[in-house]
Chains A and B, each alone.
Chain A
Amino acid sequence: MLYINDLTKNYGSFTAVNHLSLHIPAGDLFGFMGPNGAGKTTTIRIVCGLLRASSGQVRIGNTSAAVGSREMKRLIGYVPDFFGVYDNLKVREYMDLYGSMYGMYSRDIARLTDDLLELVNLSDKKEVYVDTLSRGMKQRLCVARALLHNPSLLILDEPSSGLDPRARVEMKELLKNLHSMGKTIVISSHILSELSEMCNSIGIMNRGQLLIAGRIEDVMGQIGGGNRMHIQIASGMETALRILKEQAGIKIESVRENEILILSNCTDQEINGFIGLMIQSQVILTGFYKEEGSLETLFMQLTGGSAQ
């Protein structure tokens, strides 16, 4: 769906985006992650035609249209991080304004407005002035506005920033709903737990470079977030430590009263071997588990702890 090839954006001597190449398949809900200043918003703004790239190409679907062209704009629905409103404009009129800007006919706008307001749960606010809506409602309205011309790709730049927990949950549900309808969605966000729950693929940027991208399970696998292990011991701590020290590929990270935390590069067979050896040596194990890799851990590892 979205192909970004060797994209670079320079501001004088500063490189905001550095030779970024990315492919997001159709139907994906892609989470774009990275610390502040990583280049996410710059990338999004280039894709949306709001910024000119220094070099590189952006393509959506099979179209060969240039970034910023009318044809390309029809394919994108953009939800910015900040929702600006006009005083004295009602929700219905707001939708009508943007529908007209896409060259749609009033009849079609009216029909789609009803459907979309229902989708974002704002049907009862149709005749309400936009500036009187809560921030969460405004953000949902902005999503409805971005969907009005039925774009192939929906891009949201930090959609949850400034929203209260309830509004965040509503926004998450809305995006999940849109994903299940087959929309291709790109979300840039700092709220990693939210992305891990919603997205099926992710990309992590830092200092203008894309560090890793792909399906969420593949990325987690590549990083090896599961090589940290907890061994809980009821008795025989010294024996257990001796056995572990003898194993190649194992590093003892910490030792607590009843628990040893190790970093392991061993295969499953090797792990089975030293666990068996502990049991034979009268070590009483009460627990043993691999630590699941979280998006936060992955993010911190890749960005060198510069995460929010």
Chain B
Amino acid sequence: MKIRWNPIVKKDLQVTARSMRLSWGVFAYEAVLTMAFLLALSVIQQESRSIYTTGNIYGYLIYLFPVLSIAQVCIVALIVPVITASSISGEKERQTFDIMLTTCMSPFSIVLGKVVSAVLRILFFVAAGMPIMALAFVAGGLSWSYLFYFVLTIILLSLLSGSIGILCSALCRRSITAVILSYVFYFFIYIMTLLPVIVRALLTEGERMGETMLILLINPFVFFEEFFMQLMTGESLFGVSGSNFTKREVGFITYNLSQGKAWLFLSAACIFILSFLFMLAAAWKVNPMHSSSGKRRKK
């Protein structure tokens, strides 16, 4: 059976591959990653001088992994909204979006195609950064499976960032407005979700948190923190077997989720569902049949 590509994914990749922007983008990505690597290496070298005699130098190189990973996560989080936030508004600016809507593609297929092409473009960057990442594995002695998990989390983050970008792109007429709105969404998801937890902790002195912490399931910061903790130390962010909490301090659900890897998997599922909801909202917004009155078109 022949697999049918989403035409938008195919077109976007085709157009991107021919653009000089891709080459410059990869160059910038590699440059930032190399700088992060060299900085981390110099810090590790300084640290290793004091412990050289103990023979632990290679043990320290394992910390290249979180440093490089976090650098990549930050770059991806910054790049993806720029790619997707201009995708639909860019089509509108080029006046190609109307033609797209008159074809047999459903609005959701259009939105999905745009997000998938953004994720694939990000994977292209990630693949280009693999040789630098590989140093952490060769020198730091990490398992290759960690790299696989890392790529999965990058895909998840790209999906979330991409879906935020596409929703903003559907909401705004101009690409620049869509990019700015994406970062406002980012602020709410990354920062504002921490606020209820902090306020509750301050009010109850951390003794009666209840289920407030469940909102952190959609926070990518917390997800990555948990991911690296699990990967590097085998412990949860919430301590070994959730030992940071007692059943009295947090609610029943939060307490049980803080055991083992449950939080990590549920958080991944929540981020995935959130991404899907953003994509559905974007598809609803771009569907002309869902617009109650529409706006007068400027000729």
| Complex Cα–Cα for A78 and B97 (A) | 12
Closest to A68 in B: B289
- B5 → A minimal CB distance (Å): 8
**Interface bracket on B:** 20 to 34
A16 touches B98 (CB 8 A): no
Asked if B99 is at the interface (CB within 8 A of a chain A CB), the reply is yes
- B91 → A minimal CB distance (Å): 8
Total cross-chain contacts (CB, 8 A): 96
| Complex Cα–Cα for A76 and B4 (A) | 24
How many A residues, CB 8 Å from partner? 42
What residues of chain A lie closer than 8 Å to B91, measured between beta carbons?
84
Please report B residues at the A interface, Cβ cutoff 8 Å. 4-5, 7, 10-11, 14-15, 18-19, 91, 94-96, 98-106, 287-297, 299
What residues of chain A lie closer than 8 Å to B102, measured between beta carbons?
48-50, 73, 76, 78
Q: Which of B4, B289, B294, B296 contacts A49 (CB 8 A)?
A: B289
What residues of chain B lie closer than 8 Å to A74, measured between beta carbons?
104
- B89 → A minimal CB distance (Å): 13
B288 touches A85 (CB 8 A): no
| Complex Cα–Cα for A54 and B297 (A) | 16
Q: Which of A9, A10, A80 contacts B95 (CB 8 A)?
A: A80
- B90 → A minimal CB distance (Å): 10
Asked if A23 is at the interface (CB within 8 A of a chain B CB), the reply is no
Given contacts A82-B95, A89-B11, A149-B104, 19 further A-B contacts (CB under 8 A): A9-B294, A11-B294, A51-B294, A52-B288, A52-B289, A68-B288, A70-B106, A80-B99, A84-B94, A84-B96, A84-B99, A86-B15, A87-B19, A88-B15, A93-B14, A97-B11, A101-B103, A102-B104, A145-B99
Closest to A79 in B: B99
B293 touches A50 (CB 8 A): no
B99 touches A78 (CB 8 A): yes
- B209 → A minimal CB distance (Å): 47
- B251 → A minimal CB distance (Å): 45
- B103 → A minimal CB distance (Å): 4
Interchain residue pairs A-B with the least CB separation, the first 7: A100-B7, A101-B103, A84-B95, A84-B94, A88-B18, A84-B96, A68-B289
Q: Which of B99, B106, B289, B293 contacts A98 (CB 8 A)?
A: B99
Q: Which of B296, B297, B299 contacts A36 (CB 8 A)?
A: B299
A87-B101 CB under 8 A given contacts A97-B7, A100-B10: no
30 A-B residue pairings within 8 Å (CB atoms): A11-B293, A11-B294, A14-B296, A16-B296, A49-B102, A51-B291, A51-B294, A52-B292, A68-B288, A73-B103, A73-B104, A78-B99, A83-B95, A84-B94, A84-B95, A86-B15, A86-B94, A87-B19, A88-B19, A89-B11, A89-B14, A89-B15, A93-B14, A97-B11, A98-B7, A98-B99, A100-B4, A101-B104, A101-B105, A102-B104
- B227 → A minimal CB distance (Å): 37
Per-residue CB contact flags for chain A residues 90-106 toward chain B (1 = under 8 Å, else 0) read 00010001101111000
| Complex Cα–Cα for A67 and B290 (A) | 12
- B117 → A minimal CB distance (Å): 13
| Complex Cα–Cα for A48 and B98 (A) | 9
- A80 → B minimal CB distance (Å): 6
| Complex Cα–Cα for A76 and B11 (A) | 23
A70-B104 CB under 8 A given contacts A78-B99, A85-B94: yes
What residues of chain A lie closer than 8 Å to B15, measured between beta carbons?
86-89
Asked if A41 is at the interface (CB within 8 A of a chain B CB), the reply is yes
| Complex Cα–Cα for A82 and B99 (A) | 10
Asked if A194 is at the interface (CB within 8 A of a chain B CB), the reply is no
| Complex Cα–Cα for A86 and B156 (A) | 29
